[in-house]
């Protein structure tokens, strides 16, 4: 897919009305900043609340399995190798087994 078209697709996912939007907005505020934050939020809140994602604490391999499962079994759009790497970097960094994002939220 063309780069701009992909960006448009991600943007439309971001703007898609979603019953869990209020909860997700709160989660978005709490998500650590990062290059891939929008990418993760855009893709992963399209079908379900981000709550499903941020409550997890998985290794990078664990997240890779989740991404495969979302793509193969749940109909998630195919990610480019670059997007996949960026999403995995972000999830493994902040939502890894040590749940760095949760600790970060505490004062
Ligand atoms: C096309 C729709 C779709 C997209 C996009 C999607 N998911 Fe899912 N996801 C689902 C469905 C449907 C379920 C519930 C399936 C189930 O109960 O096993 C689910 C469940 C989950 C679960 C819980 C799995 C479990 O074992 O309880 C996690 C974690 C998850 N998704 C992460 C993600 C992440 C991370 C992304 C973004 C990279 C993402 N999802 C994008 C459809 C999607």
pLDDT score, position 80: 97
pLDDT score, position 22: 84
Nearest to 50 by CA among 74, 27, 77, 16: 27
**Mean pLDDT, rounded, of the chain:** 89
| CA–centroid distance, residue 19 to ligand 1 (Å) | 16
Tally the domains of the chain.
Answer: 1
Give the number of the atom of ligand 1 that is nearest the alpha carbon of residue 87.
Answer: 38
| CA–centroid distance, residue 107 to ligand 1 (Å) | 30
* 24: containing domain: 3-105
At residue 96, what are phi and psi to the nearest 5 degrees?
-80, -170
- Joined tokens for residue 51: 């709550």
pLDDT score, position 15: 66
pLDDT score, position 4: 77
pLDDT reading at 2 higher than 70: no
pLDDT score, position 17: 63
pLDDT score, position 96: 97
- Which residue is closest in CA terms to ligand 1's atom 39? 44
Task: Give Cα separations from 81 to 24, 67, 73, 102, 107 (angstroms).
Answer: 26, 12, 19, 28, 36
pLDDT digits (tens, 9 = 90+) for 10-54: 777 666 665 567 889 999 999 999 989 999 999 999 999 999 999
């Amino acid at each position: 897919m063309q780069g701009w078209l992909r960006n448009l697709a991600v943007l439309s996912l971001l703007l898609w009305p979603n019953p869990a939007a209020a909860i997700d907005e709160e989660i978005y505020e709490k998500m650590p900043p990062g290059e891939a934050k929008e990418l993760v939020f855009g893709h992963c809140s399209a079908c379900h609340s981000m709550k499903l994602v941020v409550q997890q604490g998985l290794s990078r391999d664990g997240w890779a399995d989740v991404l495969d499962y979302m793509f193969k079994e749940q109909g998630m759009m195919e990610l480019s190798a670059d997007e996949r790497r960026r999403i995995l970097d972000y999830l493994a960094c902040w939502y890894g087994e040590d749940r760095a994002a949760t600790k970060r939220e505490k004062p």
